[in-house]
Homo-oligomer: A and B are copies of this chain.
């Protein structure tokens, strides 16, 4: 490990020059000869009965090639996790993003004009916009056939005996926390081009983050259209952000396929910024009741949580985030007794989707805020409470997670040291420090039956390699990481490694970009294939050098004997000896890596991931008592990453995650009023900008994960998980008010300060 030449180095992202020079081809840039442009007509009301629909005027508009409605879709075809979402709606609409009709035309402008010519008559219906109301008996049903607004999803985890633990606890706190809808804010909006060949095989150009799973979804769709046994190819454009938003297939994609079938032309649908806000799915909003207890020494005795999630009108992965929330709920710190129940509730709001952290930020906000309350009640410094209960290597948590490497204590120590915690905690002057920790899956999560990824490598006569990986690069830099791993194993310059990662025809299967799995899982797949190639090289070279393969290694494109430094042969020369001979050969290898993690059992227990990532964030804030505005003076983000394969990319993940967490903590919220989105644009939706970036120190803690490629763990999601509670805790330390409802806007801080001071703002 000390001899690493490429792994562990700060190597710039491979796609940086393309992106910096404007030559990256995003879905927006893609043009295919004969391509038409599709546009979608959405519902005018969040809840209404469609009483009339007339597309005849739109059809007559010159340049329009097709107008489609629900009647053009296969009758029972539904998408979504609960198969509750017809891509084109008829009868009733259930949210303002409901798709009613769509148009394909020779230009986007004509398509847009055609939409305005479609006449829809509605009978508006009263809507249900509050999940607590929607849960009540007798509430109007969103989906009548479902019999209840509460989704039939058994989110319940019980570990140990919480009731007994309560009785034995010295200190108990209980409170309620809530989080808003926030959206991914991908700078590259969603889009696709659907193209069918003469035999109705489909190519979908897309910015999906799940090419292999999307492929299956479209195969099902073609089946629904009566087109059995067709081939589906997914070609990914350069992806301008995904963060979970592109973890599912969407109505617009099926509409594009329908329009392509109708017109026999490629059809492109690309979302406008406004559509990206209202017609993609945000992080689900939550209301969480939490109770924590500890003994006299501050050892945690139990954690109990009840959660309600506004599911919106349809189901996507947002409805399943309670499964991943269970990870911090059961296993962030050592807690012997845990109980968690969550309810996802249909409303006439927008429906939710996966987003970086996948429920973890919501759960951790409640847990880490509550822990500070418990520390206060128990009279223990919050950092000491955390350290006392911190996870450790070798632990098996109540939910049966097997902790291998764990640098949680080191991360807490780094925060305490670098933030001057002891010097600054509780010192007043409107300044305060706060911290929060995190646990997350560190290398995939077995949420499907496979968590695998495949890799194929071929090597040319000069030692240059092409790597076909299932792993999608959604901006996180997996292309660079995989190139580093392969170059390191093969002892070749990184520029000799070409990574192909955007085409299901070429790239082996992969379950998709989620669960911070790519470096770990795709990295291991690349490692496996590269090792097979290396073994072949050493075997050839051993014959040429008259050595044992085990005595040989490769560095900088030269095979050498570790025993006799004079025995060397340039890699290319060995390869050409192998190739240019009778019965010649060239090196190719393939490898499929599926980690030894477990699906949950029926009680939601099992070792979901083969490794877990840890971290602790600490912040120092200053609160302006006049305005309520919170300023971040210092931000320490310490992460246990196993091994940093590329510290530059890793820091990028930490900075990016932290900034996303900052937006979640202090400013971002999708404001839905009675089902209508009120701030669906970058002017009104307060994403942090460059001026909001605080001073951040990214601290890398290396723990050498035994199953990780070169010891690495995943870092894609963790960066944003503890930000909000760390800030909330710091505000409390600074001014003694605790904001329990994200985002922590100046108005809320000011109101809390005034309430605390016994004033009423009039």
- A696 cross-chain contacts in B, Cβ below 8 A: none
Report the stretch among A81-89, A283-291, A397-405, A498-506 that lies at the interface: A498-506
Given the complex of chains A and B, what is the CA–CA distance between A473 and B384 in angstroms? 70
Interface check A508, CB cutoff 8 A = yes
1/0 per residue A532-545: CB within 8 Å of B?
00000000000000
- Does chain B have a CB within 8 A of A581? yes
Residues in A418-452 with C-beta less than 8 Å from chain B: 448-450, 452
Contact yes or no, A588 B456, CB < 8 A: yes
- Which of B201, B449, B456 is in CB contact (< 8 Å) with A581? B449
Task: Name which of A297-305, A461-469, A560-568, A707-715 contacts chain B.
Answer: A461-469
In the complex where A458-B454, A506-B466 touch, is A584 in contact with B590 (Cβ < 8 A)?
Answer: no
Q: Tell me if A496 counts as interface (CB < 8 A to partner B).
A: yes
Residues of B within 8 A of A620 (CB): none
Does A508 lie within 8 Å of B588, measured CB to CB?
Answer: yes
Q: How many copies does the complex hold?
A: 2
Is A256's beta carbon under 8 Å from chain B?
no
Residues of B within 8 A of A462 (CB): 219, 229
Q: Are B594 and A466 in contact (CB under 8 A)?
A: no
Given contact pairs A449-B581, A506-B506, A454 touches B23 in the complex (Cβ within 8 A): no
Q: How far is the CA of A575 from the CA of B16 in the complex (A)?
A: 38
Q: In whole angstroms, how far apart are the Cα atoms of A660 and B216 in the complex? A: 47
Q: Is the CB of A23 within 8 A of B33?
A: yes
In the complex, the answer to whether A509 meets B585 with C-beta atoms within 8 Å is no
Please classify how large the interface on chain A is, using the bins under 10, 10 to 19, 20 to 34, 35 or more.
35 or more
Partner of A505, one of B454, B461, B466, B582: B466
In the bound complex, residues from chain B placing their C-beta under 8 Å from that of A201 are 495
> In the complex, what's the smallest C-beta–C-beta distance from A448 to chain B, in angstroms?
8
A231 within 8 A of B: yes
Cα A468 to Cα B468 in complex, Å, equals 12
**Secondary structure at chain A's binding surface: helix, strand, loop or mixed?**
loop
CB within 8 Å of B: which A9-54 residues = 17-18, 21, 23, 29, 33-34
Residue ID in chain B nearest A500 by CB atoms? B505
Q: Does A598 contact B (CB under 8 A)?
A: yes
- List B contacts of A582 (CB < 8 A): 594, 596, 598
Q: Whose C-beta in chain B lies nearest to the C-beta of A233?
A: B498
CA distance A219 to B576 in the complex (A): 15
Contact with B along A552-594 (1 / 0, CB 8 A): 0000000000000000000000000001111111101110101
A456: which B residues are within 8 A, CB to CB?
456, 458, 588, 590
Q: Given known contacts A231-B464, A449-B580, A450-B580, is B598 in contact with A198 (CB within 8 Å)?
A: no
**CB-CB under 8 A for A458 and B584, given A23-B33, A452-B579, A506-B466:** no
CB-CB under 8 A from A594, the residues of chain B are: 582-585
A505 engages B509 (CB within 8 Å): no
Cα–Cα, bound, A580→B588 (Å): 25
Which residue of chain B is the closest to A448 with respect to CB atoms? Answer: B580
With a CB–CB cut-off of 8 A, which chain B residues contact A586?
452, 454, 508-509, 592
Q: Binary interface profile of A, 125-141, with partner B (CB < 8 Å = 1, else 0)?
A: 00000000000000000
- Given A464-B231, A579-B450, A590-B590, are A505 and B498 neighbors across the interface (CB < 8 Å)? yes
Q: Which of A199, A215, A493, A583 has the most CB atoms of chain B within a 10 A radius of its CB?
A: A583
Closest CB in chain B relative to A736 CB, distance in Å: 51
- A458–B216 CA distance with the chains assembled, in angstroms: 16
Q: Which of A456, A496, A583, A588 has the most CB of B within 10 A?
A: A588
CB neighbours (8 Å) of A548 from chain B are: none
Query: Chain B contacts of A34 at CB under 8 A?
Result: 23
Of B219, B231, B506, the contact of A495 (CB 8 Å cutoff) = B231
Q: Which residues 507-525 of A have a CB within 8 angstroms of B?
A: 508-509
Chain B CB within 10 Å — which of A201, A219, A466, A580 has the most?
A466
Bound-state Cα–Cα, A458 to B468, Å: 11
A175 at the interface (CB under 8 A from B): no
Is A460 an interface position by the 8 A CB rule? Answer: yes
Interface residues of A in 581-629 (CB under 8 A from B): 581-586, 588-590, 592, 594, 596, 598
| Inter-chain contacts of A199 with B (CB < 8 A) | 17, 495
Chain B residue contacts of A161, Cβ below 8 A: none
Q: Is the CB of B588 within 8 A of A590?
A: yes
CA distance A224 to B586 in the complex (A): 26
Q: Write the nearest CB–CB distance from A593 to chain B, whole angstroms.
A: 10
- A500–B458 Cα distance when bound, in Å, is 15
Q: Are A454 and B588 in contact (CB under 8 A)?
A: yes
Q: Which of A29, A458, A579, A598 has the most CB of B within 10 A?
A: A458
A584 touches B592 (CB 8 A): yes
Closest residue of B by beta carbon distance from A230? B495
CB distance from A431 to the nearest CB of B (A): 46
Sorted nearest first, the 5 A-B pairs with minimum C-beta distance are A449-B580, A588-B590, A17-B198, A584-B594, A450-B584
A-B contact pairs, 15 of them (CB 8 A): A17-B198, A21-B198, A229-B495, A231-B464, A233-B498, A449-B580, A450-B584, A452-B584, A452-B585, A454-B588, A456-B458, A456-B588, A500-B505, A582-B598, A583-B594
Q: A229-B493, A454-B458 are in contact. List 4 more A-B contacts (CB 8 A).
A: A18-B198, A450-B579, A461-B509, A508-B588
